[in-house]
Amino acid sequence: MTTLFGTPDVKPKRQFSMLPILTVLFLFSYGLMTLLIVEQGSTIQSQRTMIQLLLGDSTELSAIKAKAARQQALAAQAPTHPPVEAPTAQAPSTQAPTTQAEAIPSEKAIPGRNHGKAHRPAPQLPPVPASDISDARRALMSI
């Protein structure tokens, strides 16, 4: 019975606790997280700057391409033969007078020119109904 009602053995408390170690680990982890946030911010800013530079370069390149295409189209439209100069005052000729149609070279005589003949536009296809359009990501591929 003495064991039931006797004095309990009191163990001395440990002097060592986990609180200082946990506090240090907590501060260290928050420091690393702060460093990560700062680095991500600088990375995002550098990417934003790079995208803006690339956008400027892209617009400049597209302007150069459009200018080159415009010059090429103008060069293709320009006649390949020198322009016919208007005749100056001439002395009357002793030959038989010619008609105006005979004086102007025939349009067929000038190669590489397509006078008055319009190209036929390509036939337009009817629109595809929305019910016929399938999502390629969901297309069933079977063997």
Highest averaged pLDDT of the listed ranges 41-50, 74-83, 100-109 = 41-50
Q: Are 112 and 80 in contact (CB under 8 A)?
A: yes
Residue 35 to residue 29: CA distance in whole angstroms: 10
Q: Which amino acid is at 132?
A: D
Residue bearing the bigger pLDDT, 129 or 110? 129
Question: pLDDT value at position 120?
Answer: 77
Residue 115: closest CA among 124, 123, 106:
106
Q: Are 112 and 78 in contact (CB under 8 A)?
A: no
pLDDT tens per residue across span 83-104: 556 556 565 556 655 555 454 5
pLDDT tens per residue across span 11-28: 766 677 899 999 999 999
Q: Are 39 and 46 in contact (CB under 8 A)?
A: no
Question: pLDDT value at position 67?
Answer: 96
pTM: 0.39
